Every structure is written in C-alpha cells, then in structure tokens.
Amino acid sequence: MRRPRLQTAIAGIAVRDLVRDFGTPTYVYDAAVITERIARLSRFDVVRYAQKANGNLAVLDLMRRRGVLVDAVSAGEIQRAFAAGYGAGGDPPPIVYTADVFDRDALDLVAEHGIAVNCGSPDMIEQLAERAPGAELTLRVNPGFGHGHSRKTNTGGEHSKHGIWHEDLEDCVARARRAGLRVTGVHVHIGSGADMEHLALVAKACCGFARRVGPDVTAISAGGGLPTPYRDEDRDVDVDAYFRIWDGERRRLAEDLGHPVRLEIEPGRYLVAESGWLVAEIRAVKREGANHFYLLDAGFNALARPILYGAYHPMAVAPADGSAAERPLRDVVVGGPLCESGDIFTQDDGGVVRSERLPEAKVGDFLVIGCAGAYGFVMASNYNGKPRPAEVLVHDGKAHLVRARETLADLLRGERIPSE
C-alpha cells in the first residue's frame, strides 16, 4: 500500500482544523480503524487488549464497548481499566494482570479486587497465595525461543527476562499446588512484531505446555505480537490463517483434556498502531552540509520508537494552507527540538541517520507521522522540559479532545525546594 506523502486530512478532518482546535504536537486517533481491527479478530473467543500500547481512557472505553477485554501490567493500568468501566470479576476475567513482577501496589490491588493474574515469574506464585488464598492463576511460559521487530522487543529465549522458563513449568505447577492455588491457563508471548512463521510455532508449544499442566487448564492465550504494516511494502498479516493454526491446536488440546478450552489473543499494536497519527509543526527548515532538515516541535519526547528501535514511521507533509496541490519532492532528514543529536525520526537501528522523500515544506507547515497509535503517547516523556502532547479521538466524524496537552504548570507538580 502506497501511503500519500502529502496529507491534508486525518479521519476525514482537515489537519489544519485539527491544529487550529488542538495545537501541536497532538496525537490523533481514528476510532473507525480500531473498530475495524477488532472485527478482524472476532473469531478468537476473547480479544484481550494489551493496553500498554495505548492506555487512553477513551480508547479503553471504545474497546470495552466493542466487547474487548483488557490486559494490565501495573497498578496504574488496572486503575485505568477500572476508570474505563471494566469490572474485576467474571469468567472470562475482564482484566488480567500479566507481569514478571508484583509491584507492591499492584499486589495490593490484585488482592483487594480479586483480579486474575498471569504469572511470569515463579516468585509471584507464593506472593499471590499469601494475599489471595485459593486463587486461580495462569502461567506465562517462555518457550525458549522468541522473535521481534527489534532485539529489544523479542521476549522469548534465555536472554529474555519474561515468563517462566519452559523447563520449570512442572516445578511451578507443583509450587502453586503446595501454595493452595490452581493453574487454569497457559500463555505464551514471544515478542512484538514477530513474523508469522515464528508466531505459528507458538501455538504448538503453548498447547504442549497446557498438556503438561493438565486438565485444570481451561484457557490458553496466544499473547500479542501480531505485526502491522509500517512501511509501504509491508503486508497485512493473514489473521484468518493465524486463527486456523491456533484453533486447530486448541481443538486437539480440548479433545485431549476432555473439555472446552478458551482461546484468547492479546494484541496491542495490531488494534491501535494504524489508528494513530502524530501531528507536529515544522519549526525550522535548514541545511547541514548535504542534508536537508525539517525540525519539528515534537521529538523523541513525543514519539520514542525511532530512537529506541530505529523504528520506521510513514510521514507526510500537511500544508498550512490546506492545499492539496502537488509539491516537488526532496530527501529530508526529520528531527525534533530536543538538545540531543539522536532526536531524529528518520533513523535506522543503531542510530544511522537516513532521509525520507517528502514534499517541499516551509516553517508553519505540518508534518504528520503515521502508524503512531501504538507505543506513541504512552512512551512519551517530559525530557528537556517538554509537556506531553494532547490526544484527540475522531469518532463519527467528530474530533474529541481525550487528553489535554500537559501544561508548563504540570511539569512542576510535586517538586519541592527544601527550606534551609
């Protein structure tokens, strides 16, 4: 799919109008894209959204209304799920806490509300038993292999800190039994942005683990990691083929165990990445030797994926006057305002600066960074004293401010100068 390099509207609303109403930098999400992605996964028994990808309350509310359940990795994310209307109890559980560590505040919330837990470390078993006697739990297993779009997003294999090492599975089931807990599910997540070949291997491995746990298992989870197309040449994954692989394995497992087994999937990026754009203003256009730069009012404080992983994001120019007239293209390096040379959106893994072919632009035009709905705002920071961007959700043709831009006053909140 060839994405346009000149983009005058997002979700049917003129970029110019969005900027007039909400300023820059601003994340804009299209609810229709999220709804459509959810529908594509409807064959799974449970779609459990990994809210770490985008935890905005309006996004969570949208998920909940569409029947999507939620995953939480911290007390803060549990609280977000509650605030968006998710309850604690139920079968399947509306909220699952999946982590390798129980922060004390997370354990308090889990115990108080009876939140379902997916344990990624053996120590969590006794910690849970002490605070929630008799609870059921699921185990996140590290199958000994993994895959991701970057080494930093590969969550399987012995270099990964995630999950219970597959050889320790029986030990953990015994530990749970001794602590008076029952293991009712198995979960495997090998990484983010993995390819289909690797993801397909997981289904077999996961069901093998479930057999080793035994007949108490009533649910398995395929984890997240479904890739989405960032580059023009990337293809959409064949979700139906992926479902068929898992469903086949699940059916054989259910037959062996003698009862139905629920099949969950736990995507983050797949549901939201393509729904989001970061809109920034071009504040400087300049030359450094042979390179031509556009410098924006958003940097890695707003979108960290390029500096962290050399991640590629599609970009387009939105002219300030709203004109859709073609402009000559040129090779441009796109950077932000931060006092750090790595503050470049057009970089490959290892920090190698590259350029992007974009329309001619001048100060005051806007730059629209696409596929920014996942791991965008949630990884934003206040580095260099920058307030985090506003967030806007477009729903039924109307743009709603769903998170106000941070103010300069917000940046000082909680700080004190001790009196002498």
Residues acting as catalytic residues: 339
**Is residue 225 part of the contact set for ligand LLP (CB under 6 A)?**
yes
> Where does this chain touch ligand LLP (CB under 6 A) — which range of 83-91, 217-225, 347-355, 382-390?
217-225
Point out which span in 54-62, 84-92, 262-270, 363-371 binds ligand LLP (CB under 6 A): 262-270
At closest approach, how far in Å is the CB of 228 from ligand LLP?
9
Decide if residue 226 touches ligand LLP (CB under 6 A).
yes
One residue of 30, 100, 136, 266 binding ligand LLP per CB under 6 A: 266
Amino acid at 136: E
Minimum separation from the CB atom of position 195 to ligand LLP (A)? 12
| The two three-digit tokens of residue 61, written as one number | 């509310």
Does position 77 bind ligand LLP by CB under 6 A?
Answer: no
- 138: which DSSP letter? E
Q: Is 276 in the site for ligand LLP (CB under 6 A)?
A: no
How many other CB atoms are there within 10 angstroms of residue 233's CB atom? 8
Please tell me whether residue 192 binds ligand LLP under the rule CB under 6 A.
yes
At residue 402, the 3 state secondary structure works out as strand
Instruction: Give Cβ neighbours of residue 103 (< 8 Å, ≥ 6 apart).
Output: 74, 75
| CB burial string 392-403: b at 16+ within 10 A, e below | bbbbeeebeebb
Distance of alpha carbon 45 from alpha carbon 35, whole angstroms: 17
Nearer to ligand LLP, 223 or 335 (CB): 223
Q: For residue 262, give Cα distances in angstroms to 44, 52, 92, 265, 392.
A: 9, 23, 9, 10, 35
- Nearest to ligand LLP of 313, 318 (CB atom): 313
Chain-centre distance for alpha carbon 259: 33
Decide: is 365 part of the binding site for ligand LLP (CB under 6 A). no
Tokens of 188: 């495997």
C-beta closer to ligand LLP: residue 261 or 374: 374
Structure-block tokens of residue 275: 């729904």
Rule CB under 6 A: choose which of 7, 8, 56, 98 binds ligand LLP: 98
Q: How far is the CB of 268 from ligand LLP (least distance, A)?
A: 3
> Residue 305, interface with ligand LLP (CB under 6 A)?
yes
Nearest to ligand LLP of 226, 402 (CB atom): 226
Strands (E), 247-397: 262-265, 276-288, 291-296, 315-318, 329-335, 347-348, 352-353, 356-359, 366-369, 390-395
Does residue number 142 form part of the binding site for ligand LLP (CB under 6 A)?
no
Q: Is the dihedral of CA 278, 285, 301, 404 positive or negative?
A: negative
The residue within the footprint of ligand LLP, chosen from 143, 146, 224, 387 (CB under 6 A), is: 224
Q: Residue 185 is encoded by which pair of tokens?
A: 């599910």
Which distant-in-sequence residues (6+ apart) come within 8 Å of 72 by Cβ? 51, 78, 80, 81, 95, 96, 97, 98, 115
Comparing CB distances to ligand LLP, the nearer of 353 and 379 is 379
Segment near ligand LLP (CB under 6 A); pick from 267-275, 281-289, 312-320, 396-404 = 267-275
Q: Among residues 268 and 359, whose Cβ is nearest to ligand LLP?
A: 268
Contact region for ligand LLP (CB under 6 A) — 31-39, 177-185, 266-274, 317-325?
A: 266-274
Helices 239-257 & 196-213, crossing angle to 10 degrees?
A: 10
Residue carrying the six token digits 């962290």: 308
Q: Pick from 55, 146, 223, 319 the residue near ligand LLP by CB under 6 A.
A: 223
Q: Which of 64, 147, 189, 388 binds ligand LLP (CB under 6 A)?
A: 189
Q: Which is nearer to ligand LLP, 300 or 375 (CB)?
A: 375
Distances 219 to 119, 215, 241, 250, 251 between C-alpha atoms, Å = 14, 11, 20, 9, 12
Give the whole-angstrom CA distance, residue 109 versus residue 99: 14
338 is a site residue for ligand LLP (CB under 6 A)? no
- Is residue 37 part of the contact set for ligand LLP (CB under 6 A)? no
Residue ranges that bind ligand LLP, judged by CB under 6 A: 50, 53, 98, 153, 155, 189, 192, 223-226, 266-270, 305, 374-375
